[in-house]
Amino acid sequence: MFGNFLVDIDWLKASEDQRKQLYVATRAVADAGSTTVEEIMDVALGRKALMGTDYLSTFRRGKIRKSYAKLIHGWIAENHIEIANNIAPGLFPLSHTDAWGRYLAEHAIHGRLRIARFGRQSFGLVQRKKDQPKPDEVLKLGEEFCFHLDSDIYGYAVAFQEYKGTLHPLPLGSNGELHMQVQAGEQILPIKEDGKPDKLTEMNDLGQHLFIISVASQIAELPTPTSPNEFYGYTETHLIKVEIVP
């Protein structure tokens, strides 16, 4: 869903302390996976890498080649970022999108956020079948749409759009505000000040888009792009995957 974030470290200038921290993180990953540091190094570096003698001690003391440290760090960041982050957050920070990815995996509500389409000859909504089991949708590039949300909370909503690993706020307010007031139950959003649907459209980016709408009773409890779950016990977070096609 969301891509991992590789911290920008110039490993060709890495200190011995950084390489010692990398060893500790590598050991933690090995212990968690019932494997060994040697096996991780084999995978990350390739079995033909010239390691020399007593290379584990060299790694432990922060003397491993800097080019090797770069490859090991990259492999761990791609495959075991959360374990490494717990041990060496300075080397393996979690990006905002990683935090959102974990939060959505645990708390996202599926099937109650849907796409509302508009007919070519009418401003009325094309109604979707109530029993349609699959919430994911396909939209054509430039096709107008709104969201059909079924919320249990009376309060406020905020929306985000994720595309190619980047999370963007999606303003819902009639004057460009990020949030809007919502009712409990089924509704269309966003809407204009006169109550009519404020149509959305994607004009540029093909492929998969993830739309997220979070609802809370108070504005202060709504998530932000950098903090998805501070008030997760008081919010609903709905999502839908939409494929944009030519």
The pLDDT score that the predictor gives to residue 94 is 66
**What residues pair up with 227 in beta bridges, in sequence order?**
224
Q: Which two tokens stand for residue 9?
A: 């470290």
Sign of CA pseudo-dihedral 94, 95, 96, 98:
negative
Residue 97: the pLDDT is: 60
CA distance 146 to 163: 18
Cis amide prior to 223 (ω within 30 degrees): no
Number of Cβ atoms within 10 Å of the Cβ of 164: 10
Residue 245 bridge partners (DSSP): 140
For domain 104-245, the CATH architecture is Sandwich (2.60)
Domain chopping of the chain, boundaries: 11-94, 104-245
Enter the DSSP assignment of 185. Answer: E
What pLDDT was estimated at residue 133? 35
As a whole number of angstroms, the distance between CA 229 and CA 95 comes to 14
**Is the separation of the CB atoms in 179 and 173 below 8 Å?**
yes
pLDDT at res. 224: 86
Residue written as tokens 């200190």? 15
User: So what's the pLDDT on residue 215?
Assistant: 96
pLDDT attached to residue 91: 87
Task: Give the 3-state secondary structure of residue 187.
Answer: strand
Cβ-count burial of 185 within 10 angstroms (0-12 exposed, 13-18 middle, 19+ buried)? exposed
Q: Per-residue pLDDT for the chain (246 aa), expressed as one digit of tens each? A: 454 444 457 888 899 999 999 999 999 999 998 899 989 998 888 765 566 668 889 999 999 999 999 999 988 987 888 788 889 888 887 665 667 887 888 889 999 999 998 865 333 333 444 443 343 789 999 999 999 999 999 999 999 998 877 888 999 998 889 999 999 999 999 999 898 999 999 999 888 899 999 999 999 889 888 778 666 567 899 999 999 988
User: Which pLDDT belongs to residue 163?
Assistant: 85
Distance CA 32, CA 124 (A): 55
d(CA 35, CA 85): 19
